[in-house]
Chains A and B, each alone.
Chain A
Amino acid sequence: MKNKNNWILIGAITLVIVAAAVVVLIIFKDDKGTKAVLSLNGAVIFEQNLDSDCELPINSSKGYNIFVVKDGAAYVKEADCPHQDCVNHAPVSKKGETIVCLPHEFVIEIQ
């Protein structure tokens, strides 16, 4: 009986993963984005066209992130956050892609 329940549960989890992946793929389509929208703590602070390169320090009370657009893709070049997850993230250029720096509550979203 337990064995059967286990497989039902694992089957249900698999279905949820597949469903979530499909929904996300539909919502965030694989389109080339046109601009990078930067927000701090949920508030949009800046928009940068992906056609033009830039290098911009984003300062907040939590610290800094150096935001870069180069060859149509956005990334974080440098930051003083503890885990450097935003710096290690690959450059983003497609619609819906994001780079998040949780400690600084800083989000780059491609639109």
Chain B
Amino acid sequence: MTLALPSEARGTVRRGISPRTALAALALALIVALALAAPLIAPFDPLDQDLLALNMPPGPAHWLGTDHMGRDVFSRLVIGARTTLIVGFGGALVAFALGAGFGLVALSFGRWAEAAMFAVIDLVRALPDVLLALLLIVALGAGAGPVVIALGIAFAPFFAYVARATFHRESVKDYVAAARLFGGGRLHVLRLHLAPNLAGGLVTQAAILLPRCVVTESVLSFLGLGSSPDAPTWGRMVADASRYIEVSPHAILAPVIAIIVLTLSLSILGEAVRRGLDPLREMRGGM
């Protein structure tokens, strides 16, 4: 035995999956599959404008109709899923790595380092996240990569706060007092007692932030600073179609429903993972 994370402590004992979780996993798998197979299944080029068929309702030619510029909504939806997922997952992942990493470093160097480093995080958090992302994109240039980095930096503080709150919640526990009596320092407490307790909170935070990244990207697209000047994303589709909501409601409904399904299934899956990591779940009632 060493003092790394014990496998039993991860508590990944399977105990059956609820229908809700299964449905969420299925929905997410479907979205990912559609995004991967998009070039094969998209019937039209998502950028092709058919000026003779503007604002067409769903029908046999255009399965989900066309938008105000005569572009096929279904094709845009599945092609757009790719950039949307990259920005969503990428943004959340970068935020996770930056926030949790910065937070843990801040926590491991004692009280003063913690106060100083978290002051920086507070500063980042003080700016509205869209404004911050805008500033960063202006500095980094447009495109999917800069958007992912900008969203990652804008949302990193959330993960740092989760790490800090968990640390302070745990550090008043008797088992941390006992660890101090065994001669353990701050680093030891972080590694043995904080790390396993942190996983659940971070996963939940990631599941919340992923859809937020998708939505924020759409705001950036709306402002013309999104991941792609012309390639579609779901957010951009919502922004484009919102002006024509009265004549072609289907053009906005399709991406909105897609975002809702993605968000819901991610939250449900995040919750299921958090519960799976909780060793006390048997006592707190099933999933």
> Are A and B part of the same complex?
no
